[in-house]
Amino acid sequence: MPEPTDSATAFGRLHEAGCFVMPNPWDVGSARVLTHLGFPALATTSAGFAWTSGHQDNLVDLDRILAHLSDIVGAVNVPVNADFEGGFAVAPDQVAANVGRAVGTGIAGLSIEDSTGDEGDPLFGFELAVERIAAARQSIDASGTAVILTGRTEGFIVGRPDLAETVRRLTAYAEAGADCLYAPGLTTADQIATVVAAVAPKPVNLLINQPFCTVAEAADLGVRRISVGGALAKAAWGSFLSAATEIARDGTFSRLAGTPDVNALLAPDGTEG
């Protein structure tokens, strides 16, 4: 059986104590800049990557996602966590197969979510959702890589903001083998503290994609890991759209002033992988 990778081992250590931020690049350039800024780990964003290829979120196929994961992993020397959506399958055995392919890209972690994409029935049934996490766990264990598995429930972002059901799912995902638990959409101290207490001692990932919480406040609530999802990509798109709209509408270029020296940001300094 293969030995655990250095990247996965390092990623696991980050989850042992304290609170770290794992921002979400959308391409190789943004990944390298984030490592230059000193972040100890990165996470991909399905939305941010989809937008770079002219697609909406969740409309990029598995092969393109796997190639993207390989590109990001190969570009940096910090652990990379994969936004692996719902595993690109419904059936647990196919989720397991796809997780095995993802692990082969060199990622240090991945998340499996329980959203269906169906507005009328947005979450997989409880038993199936748990089976999917268990299948992902078995696939990772078979790989011998020690990749960190995050069990993710989407209720708060798909119109089912039920904290009790969120806790029920996360605790079941923890029992099924998830190493880290994640419920995007939590925004209050009470919600966060409830989830942290429910799955303890396993670590919790908190999504901060709007200014409702600081790193210090999240740490005080017991959060171990913070990600920002597609928020950095949205910020980049916002600046781009603002400048482009001014040019198209007004024929002026004021928003091009004061832009960063991207060449300098990407200058070789030994930090790239």
- 3-state SS, 49-87, equals HHHHCCCCCCCCCHHHHHHHHHHHHHHECCCEEEECCCC
Number of CB atoms found within 10 A of residue 231's CB? 18
Q: Is residue 90 part of a domain?
A: yes
Q: Is residue 225 part of a domain?
A: yes
| Helix 163-175 / helix 189-199 crossing angle, nearest 10 deg | 30
Q: Is residue 219 part of a domain?
A: yes
Q: Is the pLDDT of residue 273 over 80?
A: no
Q: Is residue 236 part of a domain?
A: no
String of b and e for 197-222 (b: at least 16 CB within 10 Å)?
ebbeebbbbbbbbeeebeeeebeebb
Could you report the per-residue pLDDT of 234-252, keeping only the tens digit for each? 999 999 999 999 999 999 9
The answer to whether residues 210 and 170 touch, using CB atoms and an 8 Å cutoff, is no
Band of pLDDT at residue 101, cut at 50, 70 and 90: very high
Q: Is the pLDDT of residue 272 over 60?
A: no
Residues 6 or more apart whose Cβ sits within 8 Å of residue 119: 158, 159
Structure tokens at 246: 């001014």
Could you report the per-residue pLDDT of 181-220, keeping only the tens digit for each? 999 999 999 999 999 999 999 999 999 999 999 999 999 9
Q: Is residue 39 part of a domain?
A: yes
CATH classification at residue 103 = 3.20.20.60
Closest by CA to 17, choosing from 227, 228, 223, is: 223
Task: Look over the chain and give the mean of its residue pLDDT values, rounded to a whole number.
Answer: 95
Q: Is residue 257 part of a domain?
A: no
Maximum separation of any 2 CA atoms in the chain, in Å: 62
Q: Is the pLDDT of residue 5 over 90?
A: no
Q: Is residue 259 part of a domain?
A: no
Q: Is the pLDDT of residue 1 over 50?
A: no
